[in-house]
Amino acid sequence: MMVLTFSGNGSVVKVRVDGSDLKFADLHSNFNYFYPIEFLKMDLNGILKEFPDLEGLPDVDIKKKAIERFKGYIKDMTSDEEIKAYIVRELGNCGYALHSVQKNGFRTKHIPDKYQ
């Protein structure tokens, strides 16, 4: 298991990676409670940009299918490092930068800004 800490867009987000299970924490949960992807606020335009075939479905169905596809994509990844690289890239596209990584049983490793 590892916890990735990102900042950007005026907020801080933590992502806990436990195999193919991802959970998220932010200031709203005081970083004490990690919640599943289903509770994230998602931009429908961003979803449709990634999955144009979902256009025309009700908003609830678009979000549901996008989450199913995301979970399937993560399950197909073979290692935590592959998942980490994917999350860093995707959140980077949304304006977030990785600031630290904490692997289970190890101290937090801070990432210098010059490597982002």
User: Residues 24-33: what's their mean pLDDT?
Assistant: 89
Among candidate residues 4, 50, 52, the one with its CA nearest the CA of residue 24: 4
Tell me how far apart the alpha carbons of residues 94 and 91 are, in angstroms, rounded to a whole number: 5
Contacts of 94 (CB under 8 A, 6+ apart): 8, 9
Containing structural domain, residue 53: 2-115
What does each C-alpha distance from 15 to 9, 63, 88, 91 come to in angstroms? Answer: 16, 19, 10, 10
Question: 3-state DSSP: the chain helix, strand, coil percent, rounded to 5?
Answer: 45, 30, 30
What does each C-alpha distance from 54 to 27, 50, 74, 95 come to in angstroms? Answer: 31, 9, 20, 25
Sheet strand arrangement including 11-18: 35-36, 21-26, 11-18, 2-8, 97-103, 109-110
The pLDDT, as a whole number, for residue 93 is: 80
Q: How many separate domains does the chain show?
A: 1
- For the full predicted model, state whether its pTM sits above 0.75: yes
**Gyration radius of the chain over CA positions:** 15
- Condensed to tens digits (0 to 9), the pLDDT of residues 60-110 reads 999 999 999 999 999 999 998 999 999 998 888 878 899 999 998 899 999
